[in-house]
Amino acid sequence: MKSKFIFKHLILMFFSFLAIGPVLIVIINSFKTRTAIFGNPYELPNMKTFSVIGYKTVQARSNFGTYYFNSLVITIASLLLILFFSSMVAYALSEYNFKGNGLIYIYFIIGLIIPIRLGSVSLLRLIVSLNLIDKLLSLILVYTAQGLPMAVFVLTQFMRKIPKALKEAARIQGASEYRIYWLVLPLIRPAIATVAAFTMIPIWNDIWFPLILTSGEKSKTVTMGAQQFLGQFANDWNAVLAALSMAIIPVLILYYIFSKQLLRGLTAGAIK
C-alpha cells in the first residue's frame, strides 16, 4: 500500500513539473542576458548572467501599462457578464420545468462542441456593422458569448443539487424569485470560482480575436504587446520573456485567491 501511495505521488509530481516547468523557465530566463538564455536556458541567473534588460526594453519601447489595463478591463468585464448571465440561465433551467427547457440547455451545450473561432468572419462583419472595431467592447462581447456555454453547463449541474426545500422556505417567507436567486448564489460559490478560473485564462491568453478586432495601439492587449518584440528576421527574446513573465502574474493571483474554492468545485464536480 505504501509503495502504491508513493508511486501515485511521484506521478502527480511528474505531471506537476510538466505543467509548472515551462512557466519557471520563462520567468528564470527573463532575468538573464541573451547569451545566457541560449547558452544554458535551465541554469539559474548568477552574478554574470543576471540582467533586467528585457524589463527595461518593455518599459521603454511599449505602452505595456496600457496593454495591461486593457486586458484587465476586458477580462474582468467579460467574467462579470459571463457569471451574471450564466447563473441566471442556470437558475431558470434548474428551477422551472417549461416547454423548451431541454432545447435551451442543448443549445448552450452545442456551444461547447462548436468552436467560436469558426465564426470569426461573421463576427468580424457584425463588429464592423456595429462600429466596434478597435474598441474593447467588441472583445468583451465576443468573450462573453464564448464563455457562456461552459459556464451554463457547470452552474446548471450545481444549481440542480440545491435542495428545493430551501427555495420553498424562502418563498413561504415572501421572498421574490430574484431574492431567492441571490440567496442561492453563495451556495454554489465553489462552482462560480471554478468557472471564473477556467474562463479567465483563455480570455487573458487569447491572441486570435485581439489580432482581428483590436489591432490599434490604444486597444492592444498583453498578448498583442508581447508579439511586437517578435520580428520577421530578429526577435528580442529578453523583452518577449519579460512581457510573458508579467502577463503570468494575474493568473497566479487568481489561483491564489480562488485556490480553495477551485479545489472544492473540482472535487464536487468529480463526485457528481
116: domain CATH number? 1.10.3720.10
The count of other CB atoms within 10 Å of the CB of residue 73 is 15
44 in a structural domain:
no
- Whose CA is closest to 144, among 87, 194, 210, 203? 203
106 in a structural domain:
yes
Does residue 134 contact residue 219 with C-beta atoms inside 8 Å? yes
92 in a structural domain:
yes
pTM, full prediction: 0.81
Least confident of 69-78, 228-237, 251-260: 228-237
Does residue 172 contact residue 79 with C-beta atoms inside 8 Å? no
Q: Residue 192 and residue 157: Cα distance in Å, rounded?
A: 12
Task: Examine the pLDDT at 271 and tell me if it is beyond 50.
Answer: no
Q: What angle do CA 109, 112, 116 make, to 5 degrees?
A: 125
34 in a structural domain:
no
| Average pLDDT across the chain, whole number | 81
- Over residues 212-247, the pLDDT tens digits come to 888 777 888 888 877 777 665 457 778 888 888 888
- Please give the residue range of the domain that contains residue 251: 54-271
204 in a structural domain:
yes
pLDDT of residue 38: 81
Q: Residue 82 and residue 106: Cα distance in Å, rounded?
A: 18
- Over residues 145-180, the pLDDT tens digits come to 999 998 998 888 888 888 888 888 888 888 788 888
pLDDT of residue 267: 52
Q: Residue 174 and residue 180: Cα distance in Å, rounded?
A: 10
Q: What SS3 class is residue 163?
A: coil
Confidence of residue 61 (pLDDT cuts 50, 70, 90): confident
Cell match 505504501: residue?
2
As a whole-number percent, the residues of the chain with pLDDT over 90 amount to 7
The domain tally of the chain equals 1
Confidence of residue 272 (pLDDT cuts 50, 70, 90): very low
Confidence of residue 16 (pLDDT cuts 50, 70, 90): confident
233 in a structural domain:
yes
- Over residues 96-143, the pLDDT tens digits come to 887 888 888 888 888 888 888 888 888 889 888 988 888 889 999 999
pLDDT of residue 83: 92
The more confident residue out of 199 and 251 is: 199
Q: Residue 210 and residue 221: Cα distance in Å, rounded?
A: 7
Phi, psi (degrees; rounded to nearest 5) at 32: -125, 160
Longest dimension (CA), the chain: 73
158 in a structural domain:
yes
pLDDT of residue 269: 46
Q: What SS3 class is residue 133?
A: coil
Q: How many separate helices (H) and strands (E) can be counted in the chain? A: 13, 0
73 in a structural domain:
yes
pLDDT of residue 258: 66
